[in-house]
């Protein structure tokens, strides 16, 4: 299986972390977003949204990182997906919540403080950062409270929800996300970062 990816992208990293945890081999196909490689016709054929990550498994093409993570887990007999219907629904709850709320709040810091510098497209916009601070405080508080006394986002075992949510904070230190106010997120983030799947996924970025 091939994964088209821009290595530092949180959406790609979480797919790699899940693949590593499941022991599935993904061949990385790098797509340099800074050079517009995602806008080439052959790429748009794979994903008309021109976004990475994209999984190619033979003639099967799948985009959207959440769907890709689920596919990898289904292929592994449902590992990293709870069997209990309530836990399974909670896994989806936290992944939907992350996609809709937490990741976009984190994404403001990523874009304003890191991506703009990388692409040389201007200074951070204080209005955007103020909005980021407001949303980060609101949704971060929800996760922080939830993680009190917990090692995992859902239940007592690793699920794809852990990888999904953790990825939002993966570049927190490099782009000034205001994590200092959230001790539980910081504790859980440290635990996730130290796991073998994330050490392997992040090794690609550190190269």
Binding site for ligand GSH (CB under 6 A): 6, 9, 11, 33, 38, 50-53, 64-66
- The tokens describing 26, both together, are 């993904």
- The tokens describing 204, both together, are 């690609």
CB of 67 to ligand GSH, least distance (A): 8
Question: Which residue reads 């959406």 in tokens?
Answer: 11
CB of 197 to ligand GSH, least distance (A): 18
Pick the closest to residue 17 from 188, 179, 162, 136 (CA basis): 162
Residue 130 phi, psi (nearest 5): -65, -40
**Residues composing the chain:** 207
CB count, 10 Å around CB of 133? 16
CB of 103 to ligand GSH, least distance (A): 8
70 CA to centre of own chain: 13
29 by Cβ neighbours in 10 Å (0-12 / 13-18 / 19+) ranks as: middle
Q: By C-beta, is 6 or 198 nearer to ligand GSH?
A: 6
Residues contacting 82, CB < 8 A, separation 6+: 88, 90, 91, 154, 155, 157, 159
CB of 111 to ligand GSH, least distance (A): 10
Q: By C-beta, is 37 or 184 nearer to ligand GSH?
A: 37
Q: By C-beta, is 32 or 145 nearer to ligand GSH?
A: 32
CB of 23 to ligand GSH, least distance (A): 22
CB count, 10 Å around CB of 68? 24
CB of 50 to ligand GSH, least distance (A): 5
SS3 call for 59: coil
Q: By C-beta, is 164 or 189 nearer to ligand GSH?
A: 164
Q: By C-beta, is 66 or 144 nearer to ligand GSH?
A: 66
Q: By C-beta, is 115 or 191 nearer to ligand GSH?
A: 115
């Amino acid at each position: 299986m091939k994964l088209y990816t821009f290595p530092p992208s949180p959406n790609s990293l979480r797919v790699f972390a899940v693949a590593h945890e499941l022991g599935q081999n993904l061949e990385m196909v790098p797509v340099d977003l800074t050079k517009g490689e995602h806008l080439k016709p052959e790429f748009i054929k794979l994903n008309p949204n021109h976004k990475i990550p994209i999984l190619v498994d033979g003639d099967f093409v799948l985009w959207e990182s959440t769907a890709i993570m689920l596919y990898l887990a289904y292929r592994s007999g449902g590992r990293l997906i709870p069997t209990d219907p309530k836990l399974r629904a909670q896994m989806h709850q936290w992944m939907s919540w992350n996609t809709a709320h937490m990741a976009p709040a984190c994404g403001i810091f990523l874009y304003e403080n890191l991506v703009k510098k990388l692409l040389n497209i201007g200074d951070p916009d204080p209005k955007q950062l103020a909005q980021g601070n407001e949303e980060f405080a609101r949704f971060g508080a929800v996760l922080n409270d939830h993680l009190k006394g917990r090692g995992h986002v859902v239940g007592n075992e690793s699920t794809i929800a852990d990888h999904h949510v953790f990825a939002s904070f993966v570049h927190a230190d490099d782009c000034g996300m205001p994590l200092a106010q959230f001790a539980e997120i910081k504790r859980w983030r440290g635990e996730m970062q130290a796991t073998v799947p994330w050490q392997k996924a992040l090794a690609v970025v550190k190269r």
